[in-house]
Every structure is written in structure tokens, then in C-alpha cells.
Amino acid sequence: MGTGSPLSNADWLVGLWRAVREPLVVAALTVLSTSAIAAPFYVPSGSMEPTLAIGDAIVASKFDYGYSRYSMPFSMGPASDTRLMERLPARGDVVVFHLPRDPGVVYVKRVIGLPGDRIQMRQGLLYINGKATLLKAMGRGHVEMEDGGALPAERFIETLPGGVAHAIYKLAWNTPLDNTGEFVVPAGHLFMMGDNRDNSLDSRVPEAQGGVGFVPMENLVGKAKIVVGSYDYRNAKQFWTWPAELRLSRFLSVIN
């Protein structure tokens, strides 16, 4: 009766590689996709209504503007004033970025001002380089509140220089954010605003006052492209109502 020979070190290593190669490939592809291609994010506030709703799950593509340390997991990498393969966003792009005064926090806003632009709010109207943007009334809507309530708001289509048109909400016309000084966007920076104009902490509020201020190009993560799903968790009170709070109409909708 013969006896089996023990495995050699080479055979043992081959067996180990066969056992772990598939998980390693999956892990590598996951890191690659979240580092270089796209990443998911969740919308916890209503500052971008009506474009984005509280409870939206969105995907941002990372290749549109090139890459910086904030394109990498855990923001790994050296600080830099430029991005690898850098491309400037267009006015009107909805972007995901790290908050300059607290890079651990991620925001999503709309690009309103490019380097060198002059931005000002006058009586609720947005002026870019001295010219008022066009507003077209589109009826009324409701601004979602974090407590589950809603406020009636006027809905407009705003057209930016270059022709990008997008929806905004206005609750009033005399808030502190409706009349500002003129902001001149520095080189290498962007000016961000929320579409929910009276309920958005954005570049109209300086960093020193707890706002966003000007956003360095380095802080961009990517361009928000699609809403992959949406759930109104604010009104999901009892477990039997949870399925009804899925916003199926928002699933796989393109972000404009």
C-alpha cells in the first residue's frame, strides 16, 4: 500500500494563489473603480432641491476633471495646486467636493463661477460678470425639510452664461443671501451654489462664517451624473410604510 508524498513548497503556494486570486481581483477592481472611475454618495440635505432630493443616492464620475488626492480612497496622496489631467468644470455642472475648511466633509453643489468670474446676488437675482441670469417661472413646488415637513416654494428655470438651464427653488427675495457683495473667483478656484437658493450654505458664505467659500480645484471629487436610487426616509415612520417611501420615479435619473 503506497503512501502519498507531502506537498512541496511550490505546490502549496500554487494552491494558496488559486484560493485567493479571485477575491484579490475583485478587491483590486473595486479599488480601481472607486479610485479612478466613479464613487457613490448619499444626499442628506435639501440644499440642492429640486435637482437632488433628501435621500437620493448618486454616483459621481471621477475622470471628468482629472485627479487629485481627493479622487483617492481616504484622500491618500500629496497636496497639489493642480490635478492630473486637469479639466475645468463647466458653469452649471453639479459636482461633489471636499469642504475646504473641513476636508472630512463632502458636499454636492452646482458650479456657478469659474476662475476670474464676478458673482453677486441682487434682490434674489444671480449676476455673473455684471449680467443677470435669466429666470423663467415654472409654477410652484415644495422644499423638503429634514423633519419630514415641507414648505411651498416658487420654482424657476435659471439659464447661466453658456446656455445651461436648471431648476431652482426660491422661498423669498429678501434673505441675507439675496443681496451680497461682489465675489471675484480666484485662480484655481470655483464658486458653488445650491439650487435651493434660500436654504443652501454655499460659496456665498465665507469660510470664516462657517460657509463654503471659494472651492479649490484640488477639492473636487467628480461630476454628479446619475441618481441610482432614492428613499424618503424622513416619512418612513412604521416599517409597513417603508416600501411606499421608495421614489421609483427618481431611480436611474440623469442629473442636470
Q: Which residues of 217-227 are buried (b: 16+ CB within 10 A; e: fewer)?
A: bbbbbbbbebb
Residue type, 255: I
Told to judge if 109 belongs to the known catalytic residues of this protein, a careful annotator would answer: yes
For 102, other C-beta atoms within 10 Å of its C-beta total 11
Residue 175 per-residue DSSP state: S
Catalytic residue among 62, 68, 109, 230: 109
CA distance 188 to 184: 12
Told to judge if 170 belongs to the known catalytic residues of this protein, a careful annotator would answer: no
Handedness of CA 129, 132, 138, 144 (dihedral sign): positive
Q: Cell 422644499, residue?
A: 143
CA atoms within 13 A on the CB side of 128: 19
Which residues are known catalytic residues?
A: 47, 109
